[in-house]
Amino acid sequence: MRRYSFHKGHGTENDFIILDDSYGLHDMQPELISHLCDRHAGVGADGVLRVIRAGQIGCWDGDPQLWFMDYYNADGSIAEMCGNGLRVFARHLINEQLVTSGSFDVATRAGVKHVEIGHQGLISVGLGRVTLLDDPVRVSVDGRTWDARKVDVGNPHAVAFVDDDVLDDLPLYTAPTWGPASAFPDGVNVEFVHVDGPGRLDMRVFERGVGETRSCGTGVVASAAAYRAASGHDGTVRVHVPGGDLEVTFDGDEATLTGPAVIIGRGELWL
């Protein structure tokens, strides 16, 4: 029998299992990840964050001493970036005294990201450049179709603006489809957004590799960027999601995401 020590945390209720593995001893097979994330037979989570030194990651050619956020979706697939996961990862590094200040860099598959610990338990993460693409994309749920904006936040997003009553009623227990299929050959995270007022959005999301989640940090950033481009709004964008509230600020095309990150406990899993 193998024992896995883990911590569990969440950022606006987007929840993660955290595995400490400085020396890269865990074999991160999709079966292990999906078992850990199973809400009935495992611990349950939207994803797994492995804490490993960047130097242990084969393709990493930057500073080997940085902590690397090795992120996996609940189905075992790998994603380039996770905005809520990065804040939870940062909170874990602080709690476990794996960093010595409240301002530090984390290595990710989408490059090095900067973290700043703020007031009242909030954490800001610089997610870098957000790219809005012009290719026409449509997303469909339950026989209804909307135009969507294609956005790259390191990982792929399609953002559709919908009416208030539509947002509440969308049956996101079924996966949205998109067209053309070639727009997202590796799958996509789909955000449905209602504009509540200037700089205020309400969002639901269906995440690639997971399903509907209560929040998605990169999805919030993608939605804020699409809203900014469509409206000309120039200032902080506040986004309400089922799991809480997040803020996005921009410096040119570079986005910073700010929100809470909580570690709820730790445990041991036997396999």
Ligand X SMILES: N[C@@H](CCC[C@H](N)C(=O)O)C(=O)O
Sequence-separated (6 or more) residues with CB below 8 Å from residue 113: 86, 105, 106, 125, 126, 127, 128
Tokens of 107: 């290595």
Residue 73 or residue 170: which is nearer to ligand X going by CB?
A: 73
How far is 83 from 25, CA to CA, in rounded Å?
25
**Shortest CB 72 distance to ligand X, Å:** 9
Could you confirm whether 82 is annotated as catalytic? yes
Residue 73 or residue 197: which is nearer to ligand X going by CB?
A: 73
Type of residue found at 165 = D
Q: What is the footprint of ligand X within residues 9-38 (CB under 6 A)? A: 14
Residue 218 annotated as part of some ligand binding site: yes
Q: Which of 82, 93, 158, 241 binds ligand X (CB under 6 A)?
A: 82
**Shortest CB 230 distance to ligand X, Å:** 21
Residue 14 or residue 64: which is nearer to ligand X going by CB?
A: 14
Q: Which helix (H) or strand (E) holds 9?
A: strand 3-11
Residue 86 or residue 162: which is nearer to ligand X going by CB?
A: 86
**Shortest CB 15 distance to ligand X, Å:** 10
Of the candidates 159, 216, 224, 246, the residue annotated as catalytic is 216
Of the candidates 32, 45, 69, 82, the residue annotated as catalytic is 82
What is the CB-side half-sphere exposure of residue 203 using CA atoms within 13 A? 37
Residue 200 annotated as part of some ligand binding site: no
Residue 2 or residue 221: which is nearer to ligand X going by CB?
A: 221
- Tell me the CA distances in angstroms from 200 to 100, 188, 246, one per residue in order: 35, 24, 10
How far is 2 from 26, CA to CA, in rounded Å?
11
- Tell me the CA distances in angstroms from 116 to 13, 50, 113, one per residue in order: 20, 20, 10
> Is residue 73 part of the contact set for ligand X (CB under 6 A)?
yes
**Are residues 80 and 86 in contact, defined by beta-carbon separation less than 8 angstroms?**
no
x-or-dash pattern for ligand X, window 190-219, by CB under 6 A? -----------------xxxx--x--xxx-
Backbone angles phi, psi at 213, to 5 degrees: -120, 165
How far is 155 from 188, CA to CA, in rounded Å?
8
> Is residue 85 part of the contact set for ligand X (CB under 6 A)?
yes
Residue 217 annotated as part of some ligand binding site: yes
Strand locations in 172-243 (E): 177-179, 189-197, 200-207, 211-213, 237-241
Could you confirm whether 59 is annotated as catalytic? no
Q: Which of 83, 199, 243, 260 binds ligand X (CB under 6 A)?
A: 83
> Is residue 70 part of the contact set for ligand X (CB under 6 A)?
no
Active centre residues (catalytic): 82, 216
Q: Which residues are annotated as a binding site?
A: 14, 73, 83-84, 155, 189, 207-208, 217-218
Which residues are near ligand X by CB under 6 A? Answer: 14, 73, 79, 82-85, 155, 189, 207-210, 213, 216-218
Q: Which residues are annotated as a binding site for substrate?
A: 14, 73, 83-84, 155, 189, 207-208, 217-218
